[in-house]
Amino acid sequence: MALNIIVCIKPVPDPQYYDKVSIDPQTKRITREGIPTIINPVDKNGIEAALQLKKTYGGKVTVITMAPPNAVENLREALAMGADEAVLLSDRAFGGADTLATSYTLAKGIEKIGEFDVIFCGVESADGATAQVASQLGEWLGIPHLWNVFSLENLEEKTMRVKTKIENGSMEWEVNLPCLFGVARQLNKPRFISAMGIIKAKSKPLATWGKNDLIVEDARLGLTGSPTKAGEIYTPDLRRKGELLSGPLDEIVDTVIEKLRTAGITIRTASTSCSAGEGGA
Amino acid sequence: MKNKIWVYAEQVESALDRVTLELLTKARDLAKALKGDTEIAAVLLGKNVKRLCETLADYGTDVIYVGESDALELYNPILYSRLITDLVKQEDPDILLFGATAIGSELGPTVAAQLKTGVAAHCVDIRINEKGLMVASVPSFGGKILGEILCPDNRPQMASVKPGIFLQGEKEPKEPAIHWLDTTELQPEKLSLKAIRIERKALAGVPLDKADVVFCGGYGIGTKENWDKLETLASRVGGAAASTRPVVDEGWAPGEEVMVGTSGKSIRPKAYVGFGISGATHHVCGMKDSGLVISVNKDDKAPVFEVSDFNIVADATKVLDLLMEKIQ
């Protein structure tokens, strides 16, 4: 049973550097200069899941992204991890898309790729973190979808057993193929890229499709196709007074305990119980 | 015409998620800000959920739509989303709010895709502007940037909010009209997606989101032993231990359920004491609403010191050991 597996990835500014993101006071735009663009970290768990499925059942892994042209580098990295083919959806008309327009465009790209059995997305992107594209893509494609998947097993007769995380627990599901999973980082540990992988990636197919390569309704693309509109952006001011507690550490710790008590926390200390003991004697 | 603000009343195993009451509290604020007559409604789906209507009534719902059926015992995105979508098409609410829980984070965007409308995800603030539109503030880049999201032309205007972001207000009891949804045609066994079972962990100690005091460890605590000290201290004062992402990744903390931050929990304890936390935006975003914030870090330039009330430049282990000695 060979599987056609598709993985959606998103190039994002490396989340390690988000403390350096700011808003340009003149242009009122977000500046993220110097921050490298990487594959959204949890999307790599999606790639890994796809590669493991392929190893067990055979088939093909295609990675797809909707992004500016330089995302070719991120797709090459996915190919170097072991994916077989890559598709870049890139067009000015796709710009400014919210999750509804993004998932629509991805769905149209996937329909052009053709038959598929399983689609993987990461649960959320590090930058926007709306966590909505996976579920909405499943809706556009009209297939069952699950979000927050941390366990995949027992693929038999075109059904799969899956577990999702919920608050303080988990749910177990049985789902028919074709289906879509938004995967959590607990699902697996993404592999590293080998030198051989990088060499092989150079000769793997990588297609770039624009609006005219897809069968789409223009009104559903990009900014036009996005029901949500962006208003003001700002940086929240979270600063506090930051008063330094200095002196011998023992005294500082006593001060901490006093401050916690003032904040309304009941604390029994060794000294209080000790002095109460002395009083009784 | 009446404004309609709806809240999805999330329940699991016949218990309402706390975020529902936080959202109903916010819905009351929004109702006051809207001009004209406003109706607040809750949508409640599940099995044996009728008694939850009392709680929803206590928090000011005018209308409750109840879908009760054995078929709805376990959450299923296909069944649940179709019921909500059909109801929305019929009643045409202006605003629809979901908790950004694991279930709500799937159900909200799924319903929105069926309705072809927009959702502002993981809002930290929701208000009504001068045009009567909902304006939601959403964090991006780990909370470093906040952006306003509007949904001017499509209805309902949707938003999701994580538990612990909005405060649960006082009760404002009403006597809501209860509308029963037709659930006779539901056939979960015929769906391409079947929920098999649910498992929930029994949590030890005080839940993180209800604790008055939280002892939080970052990567700088360095060892599993120090994590254990945080748990011990927390149990001695009736608080909870929490962590940042790296502490979970290192396996020192038990799992993501103790993680505070944009991809973890949002907390607002009376007091928060952080050990070995650098102060990355992802984490700060989840603890910024704490009452008192005390931070311990050996690096006097740690960004966390800018968002703390009191700073201690010291080795986390030393401070933890002294606290262990002193607090009984």
Q: Any idea where the domains of chain A sit in the sequence?
A: 3-220, 249-280
Contacts of B150 in chain A (CB under 8 A): 228-231
Angle at CA B299, nearest 5°, toward B296 and B303? 80
Instruction: Name the band, by pLDDT with cuts 50, 70 and 90, for residue B153.
Output: very high
Sequence-ordered strand ranges (E) for B69-144: 95-99, 119-120, 125-128, 134-140
Whether residues B149 and A228 touch (CB distance < 8 A) is answered with: yes
Q: What is the pLDDT of residues B22-73, one digit of tens each?
A: 999 999 999 999 988 999 999 999 999 999 999 999 999 999 999 999 999 9
Distance CA A52, CA A3 (A): 11
B205 touching chain A per CB within 8 A: no
Instruction: Name the band, by pLDDT with cuts 50, 70 and 90, for residue A189.
Output: very high
In terms of CATH architecture, what is A3-220? 3-Layer(aba) Sandwich (3.40)
Which of A33-63 are b and which e, b meaning 16 or more Cβ less than 10 Å from the residue's Cβ?
eebebbbbbbbbbbbbbbbbbbeeeebbbbb
Contacts of A130 in chain B (CB under 8 A): 109, 119, 121-122, 138
A2 touching chain B per CB within 8 A: no
User: From A128, which residue of chain B is nearest by alpha-carbon distance?
Assistant: B140
Please say if the pLDDT value at position A1 is more than 60: yes
B301 touching chain A per CB within 8 A: no
Least confident of A20-24, B33-37, B160-164: A20-24
Which of B52-62 are b and which e, b meaning 16 or more Cβ less than 10 Å from the residue's Cβ?
bbebbbebbbb
Nearest to A174 among B194, B256, B292 (CB): B194
A139 touching chain B per CB within 8 A: yes
pLDDT (0 to 100) of residue A123: 96
CA distance A2 to chain B (A): 20
Whether residues B292 and A270 touch (CB distance < 8 A) is answered with: no
pLDDT (0 to 100) of residue A271: 63
Contacts of A176 in chain B (CB under 8 A): 192-193
pLDDT (0 to 100) of residue A272: 55
Single pTM value for the model? 0.93
Distance CA B273, CA B295 (A): 6
Residue ranges of alpha helices (H) inside A28-129 are 41-57, 72-81, 99-113
User: From B136, which residue of chain A is nearest by alpha-carbon distance?
Assistant: A231
Instruction: Name the band, by pLDDT with cuts 50, 70 and 90, for residue A29.
Output: confident
Which of B144, B134, B104 shows the shortest CA–CA distance to B122?
A: B104
Nearest to A241 among B284, B309, B322 (CB): B309
Query: Residue B38's beta-bridge partner residues?
Result: B3
Whether residues B121 and A19 touch (CB distance < 8 A) is answered with: no
Nearest to B78 among A144, A254, A263 (CB): A144
Which of A71-104 are b and which e, b meaning 16 or more Cβ less than 10 Å from the residue's Cβ?
bbebbbbbbbbbbbbbbbbbbebbeebbbbbbbb
Please say if the pLDDT value at position A192 is more than 80: yes
Contacts of B114 in chain A (CB under 8 A): 139
Q: What is the pLDDT of residues B292-323, one digit of tens each?
A: 999 999 999 999 999 999 999 999 999 999 99
Distance CA A165, CA A249 (A): 42
Please say if the pLDDT value at position B203 is more than 90: no
CA distance B27 to chain A (A): 20
Choose between A99 and A29: higher pLDDT: A99
Which of B186-204 are b and which e, b meaning 16 or more Cβ less than 10 Å from the residue's Cβ?
bebeebebbbeeeeeeeee
Going along chain B from its start, the domains and CATH numbers come out as: 3-190 (3.40.50.620), 208-326 (3.40.50.1220)
All residues at 6 or more sequence positions from A167 whose CB lies less than 8 Å from its CB, including other chains: B12, B17, B101, B102, B103
Looking at every residue in chain A, the average pLDDT score rounds to 93
Sequence-ordered strand ranges (E) for chain B: 3-9, 11-12, 15-16, 38-46, 63-68, 95-99, 119-120, 125-128, 134-140, 145-150, 157-161, 177-180, 193-200, 213-217, 240-243, 271-275, 292-297, 310-313
**Residues B291 and B270: beta-carbon distance below 8 Å:** yes
Average pLDDT over residues B131-153: 94
Average pLDDT over residues A256-281: 72
Strand pairing class (A179-183; A169-176): unpaired
Residue B159: exposed, middle, or buried by beta-carbon count in 10 A (0-12, 13-18, 19+)? Answer: buried
**Residues A46 and A54: beta-carbon distance below 8 Å:** no
pLDDT (0 to 100) of residue A20: 86
